[in-house]
Amino acid sequence: MKQYIDKGKKDTRSGFGAGLLEAGKADSRVVALTADLKGSLKMDAFADAFPERYFECGIAEANMIGAAAGMAIAGKVPFAGSFAEFVTGRVYDQVRMEVCYGETNVKIASSHAGITLGEDGATHQTMEDIALMRALPGMVVINPCDYTQTRLATVAAAKYDGPVYLRFGRPKVADFWPDDLPFEIGKAYVLNEGKDVTIFATGHMVWEALKAAEALEAEGVCAEVVDIATIKPLDTKTVLASILKTGAAVVAEEHNMAGGLGELIAGVLAATAPKPLEYINGADQFGQSGTPAELLAAYGMDAAHIAEAAKKVMLRK
């Protein structure tokens, strides 16, 4: 199996902060807005480097999205950031009207997404945001897997002309994305080639999927791991090529079933080449307080559960 080196545990939100600074240096049109969460979203370096291009909005997310849209209309490239819940559910109407139907070049920076937010509990563990953002015409949805990919995705989002939902998280996780591997919006990455089963994973679940593939290898199962970094538009070519080769797949995401990656891939397969699927996700429920590792295990979303699901789905081929 292809080996990926964990360069050290880092949070994906810090990858966003680094990418934002990089994008800001490369393009003076880049501006940043936040609703009293500069530190949490690691925007400090950008704010220090470009104080005139950084806008503190206070705890008023609706206005932040609107102001960002206005700045985009006037030619800026705004990144508007807050916790996942507050830049999706709380401001869904604003994102729909001002950003998507309004066709403004706004980047929604969404941190602390998913159950791995941990101790803050269910109020902040957003697992419905991908569904909400996917439903909006014109919205690109990116859910990078680690620090390096989040940094690269942030830079790519700044260069892309159009609305982007960029989802990342709070906990420190393995940073394994090779520094020399470029990131492209809309591309799925086959991180490990296999023949028996595919694991489609997104976000923090990609590392869990790689660990699961390692465990499966020890049991003689050759699992293909595909990183779906861009959920919309989905790289259907890569998805179909993989599952037509392996014949069965697990879809792993830190999101609930409704409107998530699992349903998305199921929909693509139903219309083209139906194959057995198993789902690793938050089902249809809210989370609770706990450490990220505890929660992933308790909700059936860690590497061990992915490996089990892979074996199960192979039996249905």
> Of the two residues 67 and 249, which places its CB atom closer to other proteins in the complex?
67
Q: Report the chain's C-alpha Rg in angstroms.
A: 19
Min. distance of Cβ 127 from other proteins in angstroms? 26
**Could you tell me which of 211, 223, 200 has the C-alpha nearest to residue 280?**
200
Are 66 and 104 in contact, with CB atoms under 8 Å apart? no
Is residue 58 within the footprint of other proteins (CB under 8 A)? yes
In the bound complex, what is the minimum distance in angstroms from residue 46's beta carbon to other proteins?
15
Site membership for other proteins, residue 27 (CB under 8 A)? no
Q: Residue from 30, 72, 239, 243 that binds other proteins (CB under 8 A)? A: 72
CB-wise, 94 or 116, nearer to other proteins?
94
Contact 265, 233 (CB under 8 A): no
Could you tell me how many residues of this chain bind other proteins (CB under 8 A)? 32
Nearest distance from C-beta of residue 24 to other proteins, angstroms: 13
By the 8 A CB rule, do 99 and 163 touch?
A: yes
- Does 52 participate in binding other proteins (rule CB under 8 A)? yes
Least distance between other proteins and beta carbon 82 (Å)? 13
Alpha helices per DSSP H over the chain = 12-26, 44-49, 61-73, 92-94, 129-134, 147-159, 205-218, 236-246, 261-271, 292-298, 303-314
Span interacting with other proteins, options 57-65, 82-90, 236-244, 247-255, rule CB under 8 A:
57-65
Q: How many C-beta atoms surround the C-beta of residue 155 within 10 A?
A: 20
Query: Is 61 annotated in the active site?
Result: yes
In degrees, rounded to 5, the angle at the alpha carbon of residue 113 between the alpha carbons of residues 107 and 114 is 145
- C-alpha 284/C-alpha 97 separation (Å) is 28
Q: In the set 20, 21, 43, 67, which binds other proteins (CB under 8 A)? A: 67
Of the two residues 67 and 205, which places its CB atom closer to other proteins in the complex? Answer: 67
- CA gap 22, 45 in Å, rounded: 10
As a whole number of angstroms, the distance between CA 21 and CA 155 comes to: 9
**276 and 317 in contact (C-beta within 8 Å)?**
yes
Q: Give the residue with the Cβ less far from other proteins, 56 or 217.
A: 56
Which one of 47-55, 143-151, 218-226, 276-284 is the stretch in contact with other proteins (CB under 8 A)? 47-55
Residue 51 is a binding residue for other proteins (CB under 8 A): no
Chain positions 283 to 312 lying near other proteins, rule: CB under 8 A, are none
CB neighbour list of residue 16: distance below 8 Å, 6 or more residues apart: 41, 42, 81, 109, 111, 150, 151, 154, 166, 168
Q: Is 119 helix (H, G, I), strand (E, B) or coil?
A: coil
- From the list 30, 41, 68, 249, which residue makes contact with other proteins (rule: CB under 8 A)? 68
Q: Which is nearer to other proteins, 62 or 122 (CB)?
A: 62
If binding is defined by CB under 8 A, does position 188 make contact with other proteins? Answer: no
Alpha-carbon gap, residue 4 to 18, rounded angstroms: 22
Q: Which of 61, 128, 263, 278 is catalytic?
A: 61
Binds other proteins (CB under 8 A): choice among 45, 62, 135, 304: 62
Question: Which residue among 102, 260, 282, 292 contacts other proteins (CB under 8 A)?
Answer: 102
Give contact residues for other proteins (rule: CB under 8 A).
Answer: 31, 52-53, 55, 57-58, 60, 62-76, 78, 93-94, 96-98, 101-104
Q: Which residues are catalytic?
A: 61
